[in-house]
Homo-oligomer: A and B are copies of this chain.
Amino acid sequence: MTQHPDPPRPRKIPTQARSRATFEAVLEAATRILQAGGLSAITTNLVAETAGISVGSLYQYFPSKEAILSELVTRMRLSMSERLADASARAQELPLRQAIPMLMEAAVHQYATQPALTAALEAAEAQLPRSPEVRAGRRKVRDALVACLDRRGIPDPQEAALDIAAMTRGIVMASVYSGKADFELVRKRIEWAALGYLAERMGRSSDLL
């Protein structure tokens, strides 16, 4: 059986100004490296050097390389879930045809603004123990969508939500990968995907949409 070890975490969350700066400098350096070279380019020594600090300092704040990645993944998931929860709230009373675009916009945002970083962090996430925060973030994303669909009477909204999220991710990452990153267009396409999927799911006759 696979072990489920504790997810790696920062050693301490610094509060004083100087510490805080170093802590953030590490995360920024790691971010830059991931953007430029992907997951395989990241090295604790390189992170420290890029951050303009010593390895020792890095290890004051993060007990391992994984802890750095884990923190970045967590932040990414939190930011995504907040954005989506927000969109969901704003879409609350709108008809599905107007709600979906708002939600899709939120869903795409992270990928659209940070394609390479996001890809690297998702690769990292896949080989990291899942942290409660990330789980919670993912759940929150899903719940926002689920609530949105449920309110409109979509059956089995859980599965529908998962699929929409997955399709979205698929289309976005493919366009990132192919280098054509016109995210205005991408957003339009994932709207089609989401709306079409829902219509198909409910039978074409339905007029909920």
Query: CB within 8 Å of B: which residues of A?
Result: 38, 40, 119, 123, 126-127, 159, 162-163, 165-171, 173-175, 177-178, 189, 191-193, 195-201, 204
User: Within the complex, which residue of B123, B166, B174, B197 is in contact with A196, where a contact is CB–CB below 8 Å?
Assistant: B197
Question: Are A159 and B38 closer than 8 Å at their CB atoms?
Answer: no
**Chain B residues in 8 Å Cβ range of A123:** 123, 126
Question: Are B204 and A200 closer than 8 Å at their CB atoms?
Answer: no
Given contacts A189-B159, A200-B193, contact A171 B167 (CB under 8 A): yes
Question: Are B189 and A196 closer than 8 Å at their CB atoms?
Answer: no
Complex Cα–Cα for A204 and B84 (A): 27
A143 to nearest B CB, angstroms? 15
A123, A167, A198: residue with the most chain B Cβ atoms closer than 10 Å: A167
- Describe A's contact surface by its main secondary structure: helix
Question: Are A195 and B200 closer than 8 Å at their CB atoms?
Answer: yes
Measured CB to CB, the nearest residue on chain B to A186 is: B163
Complex Cα–Cα for A9 and B177 (A): 22
List 25 interface pairs A-B (beta carbons < 8 Å), by A numbering.
A38-B126, A119-B126, A123-B126, A159-B189, A162-B174, A162-B175, A163-B171, A163-B174, A163-B192, A166-B171, A167-B170, A167-B171, A168-B170, A169-B170, A169-B174, A192-B197, A192-B200, A192-B201, A193-B197, A193-B200, A196-B196, A196-B198, A196-B199, A196-B200, A199-B200
Question: Are A166 and B159 closer than 8 Å at their CB atoms?
Answer: no
Measured CB to CB, the nearest residue on chain B to A36 is: B2
Measured CB to CB, the nearest residue on chain B to A41 is: B127
**Chain B residues in 8 Å Cβ range of A177:** 126
